[in-house]
Amino acid sequence: MAKKLVIVVCIVCLVALMIQVGQGRQARQRIDRLNNANPAIQNRAIAELGTLGRRQAAPALKKFLSGDYARDTRLLTLKALGDIGDPESVAPIVPVLADPDPQIKLSAAEALGKIRDPTAIQPLAKLLNDPDAQLATIWALGNIGHTNAVSFLSGLLASPDKFVRFNALQALKKIGSGT
């Protein structure tokens, strides 16, 4: 009985390893496609890399945050970097919070919230008075879940806007519950 259990565990481990190797190979193929001159192929590779969630892809994606790339490419990149969740992506995303495009700014806040690195709290706090990104920023601060965000969120409980108050309260609850 014990021998059979060991064999089953070994098989499960081998299958898991094979899946991991396959995903690594898929990620490398997608990273290679980022260099394609066709923006549609680049965008598809960006989206797929985000779905794969492999941290090895994050450094290759960061160049697409630049204003030199199309809006759709930048939005896909922010989503992918958020989905990957690599804390090394915080530094290149932070400058994007100042982008003049409201959707880019909002997506940058969401990506930082998904990454959940406390170093993003101070840069996000600067957006709390920006009506274009305020609710996304409140969500991001709550999702990061660090107590350093409490003072920023607490100040919003007196807001005249009921949606801001509600979302700030939800974010504070999330921080308090540790989820």
Q: What's the rounded Cα separation, in Å, for the pair 78 and 158?
A: 31
Tokens of 175: 């921080």
Q: What does each of the 179 residues of the chain score in pLDDT, given as a tens digit?
A: 666 655 545 454 444 434 444 445 677 888 899 999 999 999 999 999 999 888 999 999 999 999 899 999 999 999 999 999 999 999 999 999 999 999 999 999 999 999 999 999 999 999 999 999 999 999 999 999 999 999 999 999 999 999 999 999 999 999 998 76
Q: What's the rounded Cα separation, in Å, for the pair 34 and 37?
A: 8
pLDDT for the residue numbered 54 = 85
Residue 64: how many CB atoms within 10 A of its CB? 22
pLDDT for the residue numbered 3 = 63
Q: What's the rounded Cα separation, in Å, for the pair 165 and 138?
A: 10
Residue 156: how many CB atoms within 10 A of its CB? 22
Q: What's the rounded Cα separation, in Å, for the pair 18 and 13?
A: 9
User: Looking at the domain covering 2-177, what would its CATH class be?
Assistant: mainly alpha
Find out whether 91 and 76 touch, Cβ atoms under 8 Å. no
Show the CA angle centred on residue 115, arms to residues 113 and 119, nearest 5°: 80
SS3 category, 38: coil
pLDDT for the residue numbered 13 = 41
Query: Amino acid identity, residue 19?
Result: I
Residue 20: how many CB atoms within 10 A of its CB? 11
